[in-house]
Every structure is written in C-alpha cells, then in structure tokens.
Amino acid sequence: MLTASSLAAVYALGGQPEAEGALLGTALLSLGAGLALFGHGLLPKGPYAEERETLPSTGAERAAFDEAFEREGLVTRRRLLVGGLTGAAGTLLVAFLFPVRSLGPSPGKSLESTPWVPGRRAVTEDGGFVSVDDVPIGGLVTVFPEGHVESADGQVVLMRVAEGLVPARGRESWTPQGLIAYSKVCTHAGCPVGLYEVQRQELLCPCHQSAFNVLNGGEPVFGPAARALPQLPLAIDGEGFVVAQSDFHEPIGPSYWTRP
C-alpha cells in the first residue's frame, strides 16, 4: 500500500522514470509476497479427497451404446485427425482471404495509361496553352494534359533544343521544331525530375541525383535510375499549340513489371 501510494504521488507530481520503476517493482514484489504468505498460512491444509461410489453402466446402457456405434459407424483416430487437420487448414485459408480486402480495389490497367490522348493540348499549371514560342531554346517548362492539371502521372517536362537531337527509331516525328517532352516522374523512385542542365543536355532528379540524356531518348547516364524516362510524342496543331500525338508508349514511373 505504501509503495503504490508513493507511486501515485510521484506520477501526480510530474513523474520520474527511475523512481516510478523502483516503486512499481517493489509494489508488485510486495503483492506477490503477500499472496504467497496468504496461500501458505491462511488457506486450509490439504490434500483432501471426497469418496464417491463407482458408477458402472447398466447392461441396457451398454447395449444402446453398441447399437449406436454400429449405426453411426466407427470413427477411427486416423480418420478423426486427418479430417480435423483438413478442416482446420481449410478454414484457416478462408480466414486468410479476408485481409485481401484491405488491399483496396484492383487497379486494373489504370497504371498503364495517363490522361494524355491524341490531340490533347499541353497546358501550364495555370491552365494556359503552350505554343512553340513559349519554350525558348534551352528552356524547360512543366506542362500537363489539358483538363488534368493536378495529374501526378501526366506531368511532363517540355524542352526545346537547337541541335544534336538523336531520335530513336520510330520517334522521328515526336520532336517537332526541336520540342521534346519526357515524363517528369523519375524511373528510380518516382521523384519529380525538374532540373535541366543545358550545357550537358541532361535532366537531373534532385532526390537521388539520377541524370538522363535529353538528346538520346532520356537514357540514364548517372545515378541509380536504370531505365530511360518515357518520352511523350508531340505535335503542333493548326493554331500553333503543342499537343500529344498519343499517350506514352510505356508505363511511367519507377521500374514496371511489363517494361522490357
């Protein structure tokens, strides 16, 4: 009682971990000692045994038991154990299915596409359309698909280069008037790639210092990123604004299980 009361007082006055631990330990040891003394000194001494008469089954009861056993069939120990084990394993597997619901709905093919579609214009963060003249030589502009300014997977870095561009096979028409666009989502850990080193023609990821060659299909040249930035096919519409020819031809972001 004394140590427990002292513990309450120390706690009420602001607490002190060492004192609280010592008082709590002493209180529990004292309580255990009290229970041991109570059991040894105050409880009745034994052992005690109460005699009872034997309870044999009558002949009629034994006959009824034999009849029921023959009617229901004999449950062997092996059959009982195997059946019980199978039932337990089955119900356990069923129970394991319930946590799958906590994973949420299936993403389906939503990870394989972005809001970019053929003919959709590129817009700035304030929703303004982007023309060729809005991107100077050596400049970088972050753009989004029209109507999806808040899109995380649709954000793109748009640059304009004067010369040296080496389009990959099949991408010759993706860079009209020197405009070239890559996904802003780093292929290493998904950080935003927003730094452009014009002299080296490299895009830089500030998170883990991955660098990507702008002129050579966004191939990684430094850092932990192992895959190129997905390139967005561009075109210029009749009003001179930048539009997408199509969506990205591969999933954007970190390493993806279907990406070669």
pTM above 0.85, yes or no: no
Asked if 111 and 87 touch (Cβ cutoff 8 Å), the reply is no
27-68 confidence digits (pLDDT tens):
899 888 888 888 888 778 878 888 888 788 888 988 888 887
Please check whether residue 27 is in contact with residue 7, taking contact to mean a CB–CB distance below 8 angstroms.
Answer: yes
The terminus-to-terminus CA distance of the chain in angstroms comes to 72
Span 56-109, pLDDT tens digits: 888 898 888 888 777 766 666 767 777 877 887 787 777 667 667 777 777 777
The least confident of 6-10, 55-59, 97-101, 238-242 is 97-101
Q: Is the pLDDT of residue 155 over 60?
A: yes
Neighbours of 260 (CB within 10 A): 5
Of 233, 221, 234, 162, the closest CA to residue 193 belongs to: 221
Distance CA 244, CA 158 (A): 12
CA nearest to 161, candidates 213, 226, 93, 112: 213
